[in-house]
Chains A and B, each alone.
Chain A
Amino acid sequence: MKGMLPLVQNETLKIWKKKRFYVILLILLVLVPLFTYAQLRVSQTNAANFKDWRNQIQQQITDLQNTLASDRMPEEWKKYDRIKVQQLQYYLDHDINPNSPDAATFTRQFMASSVSMFFPLLILALSSDLVSGERTGGTIKMLLTRPVRRWKILTSKLIALTLYVSLAILATGAVCYLISGLLFGYGGWTMPVFTGFVIDGSAIDATGVHAVPQWAYMLMQSGLIWISCMTIAILSTMVSVLVRSTAASIVTMMAAVISGSILAGMASSWEAAKYIFSVNIDLTDYLEGTPPPIAGMDIGFSLAVLGIWAAAALVVSYGVFTKQDILN
Chain B
Amino acid sequence: MKSSGTLWRVVGTASLASTLLLAGGFAFAMRDMLIVTPSVQQAARQAPEEAQAGGQYQQADEILVTALGDSLTKGVGDNSGRGYVKPVLEQLKAATGKPVQQINNLAISGLTAAELDKMLAEDRGLDNPIRQANLILLTIGGNDLFRPVLEARENGSSSDIPLDEIEAQIPAAAASLKSVVERIRAINPEATLVYAGLYNPFYDIAELRDGSAAVQRWNDEAYRILAKDEHAVLVPVMDLFEQRSAAYMASDHFHPNQDGYVRIAQRIVQALT
Contact = CB atoms under 8 A, between A and B. Distances in A.
* A/B touching: CB–CB < 8 A: yes
Interface of A: 8-9, 12-13, 16, 49-52, 54-55, 57-59, 61-62, 65-66, 69-70, 89, 92-96, 162-164, 166-167, 169-170, 192, 194-196, 207-212, 216, 219-227, 286-287, 299-300
Given A222-B25, A223-B28, 11 more contacts: A12-B11, A13-B11, A69-B111, A95-B48, A169-B18, A196-B32, A207-B38, A207-B39, A220-B28, A224-B25, A287-B33
Nearest to B110: A69
B18 to A, nearest CB: 4
A288 to B, nearest CB: 11
A58 B4 contact: no
A223 B125 contact: no
B255 interface: no
B46 interface: yes
Given A58-B106, A207-B38, A52 B51 contact: yes
Residue picked from B15, B21, B36, B109, most chain A C-beta under 10 Å: B15
Contact of B132 (A49, A51, A94, A196): A51
A24 to B, nearest CB: 13
Lowest 10 A-B CB distances belong to which pairs?
A: A223-B25, A223-B26, A163-B15, A220-B29, A166-B18, A210-B41, A211-B43, A226-B22, A166-B19, A95-B48
A299 B49 contact: no
A66 B108 contact: yes
Contacts of B39: 207
Contact of B43 (A65, A70, A209): A209
B contact patch SS:
helix
Contacts of B7: 13, 16
Contact of B128 (A55, A192, A208, A224): A55
Contacts of B110: 69
Contacts of A16: 7, 11
B153 to A, nearest CB: 15
Given A9-B8, A170-B21, A226-B22, A55 B14 contact: no
A94 B48 CA distance: 7
Interface string B113-157: 000000000011110110010000000000000000000000000
Nearest to B49: A95
B169 interface: no
Given A162-B19, A166-B19, A220-B28, A58 B41 contact: no
B29 to A, nearest CB: 4
A116 to B, nearest CB: 18
23 contacts: A13-B11, A54-B128, A55-B132, A58-B104, A59-B105, A61-B125, A65-B108, A66-B107, A69-B108, A93-B124, A94-B43, A95-B46, A95-B47, A166-B21, A167-B15, A210-B43, A220-B25, A220-B28, A222-B22, A223-B22, A223-B27, A225-B22, A299-B33
A62 B11 contact: no
A52 B132 CA distance: 11
Given A227-B26, A286-B33, A299-B33, A211 B104 contact: no
B66 to A, nearest CB: 9
A66 B29 contact: no
B104 A62 contact: yes
A167 B29 contact: no
Given A16-B7, A57-B125, A167-B14, A223 B43 contact: no
A210 B40 CA distance: 9
